[in-house]
Structure 1
Amino acid sequence: MATRRLKLLSANIQAGSSTRGYHDYVARSWSHVLPAGNKRGALDTIARLAGSYDIVGLQESDPGSLRSGFTNQTHYLAQRGGFDYWSHQPNRSVGGVASSANALLSKLEPIAVDDHPLPGRIAGRGVLLARFGSGDAGLVIAIAHLSLGATSRRAQIAFIAELLHGQRHAVLMGDFNCLPDRPEMELLYRRTQLQPPTCRVPTFPSWRPQKAIDHILVTGALAQDGMQALPAALSDHLALSIQLDVPEQALRQA
């Protein structure tokens, strides 16, 4: 069966803000609500990294609030990174001062992109679902940023499992805020064809990675290779990359 190798990247970009240690959460808290700091420079660094990939999933991309200088960061990265296709899912806004989105950057044309709100004790989480190719064998890419609390996270994972149930060629990427062997993660492995990661790659905190809480989960029908963590400018998360061998038929449009 003919396949095409695709390079995928997932990154929590923290809206272009800089965090180089736990003290910055307090000392530089202003950067999360004001358009100060070198956010544009950080975005340019992220664009250079992202530009060498075929499909990129972003978390905490600001869709255009005060802290980003009213710049739609996903659109900016698409232009700077050479992506013809982009979409975003604004999912949390703090009085117009700060906003956050899941986002897709792609050099392949999706046939559909849908966004779904996720359940949880506090509203504002979502999953962005992109479909490539046609029919049941098409490639599905889901991008999510899950809650900190286990109870909400379990409900969110159950929702995503329903969306991806029965999909042979599927990828779920994002900031899960939990390790891959947490009890709630077992829902994904039982109810979908997504597989536990073949290795743990610590991504948080970026300055001293100890916790594997960012993941790219892939169904067993897709061969994968080269999982690694990479700096996403000065975000508090490292980005995660992978290479997949995807059947040509999963990308072919009817």
Structure 2
Amino acid sequence: MLSANIQAGSSTRRYSDYFTRSWSHALPAGSKRTSLDAIAQLASGHDIVGLQESDPGSLRSGFTNQTHYLAQRAGFHYWTHQPNRSVGGVASSANGLLSKLEPVRTADHALPGRIKGRGVLLAHFGDDREGLTVAVAHLSLGARSRLAQLSFIAEVLQDHPNSVLMGDFNCLPDQPEMGVLYRKTTLRPPECVVPTFPSWKPQRAIDHILVSGDLRCLGSQAFPAAFSDHLALAMEIEVPESALRT
């Protein structure tokens, strides 16, 4: 599996770029298509990919649905997305899911928070309670909002014993608000903490892939997601055959 905050294909290689290249977050110019092609090449080597900050088709992406584009370029048979935030049609943001296996069902939920525009996207594989549930989320910057969001996600996942929660959490895995996940679900803290931010000098582990139940992590590694300010996080997971049986 792979989780990647792709920053809508924009380039950030140093902190000053947030100011000097701020135009790239509103205009379609720049190397976004080249960036997406590099991300597609990385994604193609994985079975399930969760995306954050994938533009669903606004001015800055040249009205390209980036999740769909990546699915086509990387050879995924199934894709879905959850648009969360739109700024006057100039810039939009979505969670996305790419999968080589077609889920039995998908769902999406808006997340609570002081500022609206966050969500969690779910896909269920296997046709019973023991099936595999994959959730993709992008959490808020503020601890209070994150606690509300993680509490909501815990409620959604608590009846799914074989779950994967991946995304940009904007916090370390041992932050106090993360405790609600570990108490109310069988999701576990990562066995190996991998720094993913900022991509040019990774110091903070704020992107995570958490697993629960009988799922077993066989290793994790970070990769550049083209020129995004986050590294992508990959994890090999051993899934019981029963969790994928339909």
Q: State the TM-score bracket (shorter-chain normalisation).
A: over 0.9
Matched, 1:143 2:155: no
Structure 2, unpaired ranges of 5+: none
Q: Distance in 1 between matches of 2:32 and 2:7?
A: 10
Tell me the residue number matched to 2:4: 11
1:28-107 aligned at under 5 Å gives the runs 28-107=21-100
Tell me the residue number matched to 1:3: none
Contact 1:205 1:237 in 2 (8 A): yes
Contact 2:214 2:240 in 1 (8 A): no
Tell me the residue number matched to 1:195: 188
Give the SS at the match of 1:162: helix
Tell me the residue number matched to 2:103: 110
Give 1:106 shift. 0.2
> After TM superposition, where is structure 1 displaced by more than 6 Å over at least 4 residues in a row?
none
Identity %: 72
Aligned length: 246
Q: Distance in 1 between matches of 2:102 and 2:242?
A: 14
Q: Distance in 1 between matches of 2:73 and 2:202?
A: 28
Give the SS at the match of 2:150: helix
Matched, 1:231 2:229: no
Matched, 1:251 2:228: no
Contact 1:166 1:193 in 2 (8 A): no
Q: Distance in 2 between matches of 1:115 and 1:163?
A: 11
Give 1:166 shift. 3.0
Give 1:115 shift. 0.5
Give the SS at the match of 1:60: strand
Structure 1, unpaired ranges of 5+: 1-7
Give the SS at the match of 2:156: helix
Tell me the residue number matched to 2:172: 179
Tell me the residue number matched to 2:155: 162
Q: TM-score, normalised on structure 1?
A: 0.96
Matched, 1:218 2:211: yes
Q: TM-score, normalised on structure 2?
A: 0.99
Contact 1:19 1:236 in 2 (8 A): yes
Tell me the residue number matched to 2:114: 121
Q: Distance in 2 between matches of 1:194 and 1:134?
A: 21
Q: Distance in 1 between matches of 2:210 and 2:216?
A: 12
Q: Distance in 2 between matches of 1:168 and 1:244?
A: 15
Q: Which amino acid aligns with 2:106?
A: V
Q: Which amino acid aligns with 2:231?
A: L
Q: Distance in 1 between matches of 2:207 and 2:217?
A: 17
Tell me the residue number matched to 1:5: none
